[in-house]
Amino acid sequence: MSHHRAERMNIRIEEVAESRLSELDFSKIEFGNVFSDHLFRRNWEEGAWQEASLIPYQSIPVNPAALGLHYGQAVFEGLKAYRGTQDGIIRLFRPDRNAERLQRSCERLCIPTVPTDDFLNAIQALVSLDRDWVPASRLQTLYLRPILFGSEGHLAVRPSRTYEFWILAAPVSEYFDRAGPGISLKAEDRFTRAAPGGMGAAKTGGNYAATLRPTGDSLAGGFNQVLWLDAHEHHFIEEAGQMNIFFRLGDTVVTPPLSGTILPGVTRDCVLTLIDEWGLAREERRISMDEIRDASQRGLLSEAFGAGTAAVVAPVQCIQYRGTNIEVPDPGSDSLSKRLYDELTGIQYGEVSDRHGWTVDVT
């Protein structure tokens, strides 16, 4: 259990007349195409958060001049609820870290922050009410999407004076197919995800909008994701799609540092913690494409993998950079990426001891 105990928040509950759960075929759900019965909603008006409520999932009117629509004043988060395979207990995984990251994103975009206790209460309340939507399968979870945006109808370029805070819940399957050898990446040397001094460390919609064109081009070229490089030279590695990236070079695990241009992933932090716990060497430093290409040619590159909430840990099998393919050898069944995936999902599903206090039971 996490050591963080949230102070209770009053939440008005309006339950659906009839659940849509009976209409759902869990064997056919994809990522983010169906939503649970209820929605958390809270407004910011007159300088304060107003009454919180859980209401039936529905479309909600938004002012056509809402500042969040016109100027991108919107931030969001992503976390999951897991049903224990052995005890049936529903667990959240490090939700306090998502609360803290949402606060940092809000501060970057001049949005009022959500107190950690309020965030945890809202998540707990929604998952508790829609607990039957948490899948029983080890390959599925209930994905939670908090979003906060400026709702004031106004066209001056300034922060909004009113905000909407919603939390949606969606039962989802695995983000990547785990039956294959790993994902393929195209190192992007034209477009930039984030630049120094920008919003790269904030989880805001604009960062994702910038990725759509290059990601689409990569998918059309037969790749699974984009490998993002630095904005200045397009030479130093930053992120893999929506994941943080790791390389095993010799006996050392290397990942780019949190320099303000990449998202500080919750899974990234877990991976680093486990690597330290297991006594493996690791470094947080800049990594160039030349270094990875040279390491591959010299036989020093033994593994590459992405880490993120949606995919957990996903092995990388190849990277294309300026027309050249860098092949990552198949590390086999005893790979570090598989060990990390098994350990993290084991903790999330209650199969492995939660010695770091990462999980929170939903009551």
Q: What is the pLDDT of residues 153-200, one digit of tens each?
A: 999 999 999 999 999 999 998 776 666 679 999 999 999 999 999 999
Residues with Cβ within 8 Å of residue 282, at least 6 apart in sequence = 252, 253, 254, 255, 272, 275, 276
Tokens of 342: 């098994």
Location of structure tokens 């303000």:
260
With CA atoms as reference, report the closest residue to 163 among 216, 240, 105: 105
Torsions phi, psi for 30 (to 5 deg): -110, -160
Confidence tier at 7 by pLDDT (50, 70, 90) = low
Beta strands in the chain (DSSP E): 11-13, 38-45, 48-56, 74-76, 79-83, 90-93, 140-150, 163-173, 183-187, 225-229, 237-240, 243-249, 252-255, 281-284, 301-308, 312-321, 324-327, 359-361
Say which residues have a Cβ less than 8 Å from residue 132's Cβ, sequence separation at least 6. 19, 21
- Parallel/antiparallel/unpaired status of strands 252-255 and 243-249: antiparallel
Q: What residues does each domain of the chain span?
A: 11-173+350-361, 183-331
Residue partners of 41: CB distance under 8 A and separation at least 6? 52, 53, 54, 55, 60, 164, 165, 166
The string of pLDDT tens digits covering residues 195-237 is 999 999 999 999 999 999 999 999 999 999 999 999 999 999 9
CATH code assigned to 183-331? 3.20.10.10
Alpha-carbon distance of 197 to 207, in angstroms, equals: 13
Helix (H) or strand (E) holding 19: none
The predicted model scores a pTM of: 0.94
Share of the chain above pLDDT 70, in %: 97
What CATH class is the domain 11-173+350-361? alpha beta
Number of other residues whose CB lies within 10 A of the CB of residue 298: 10
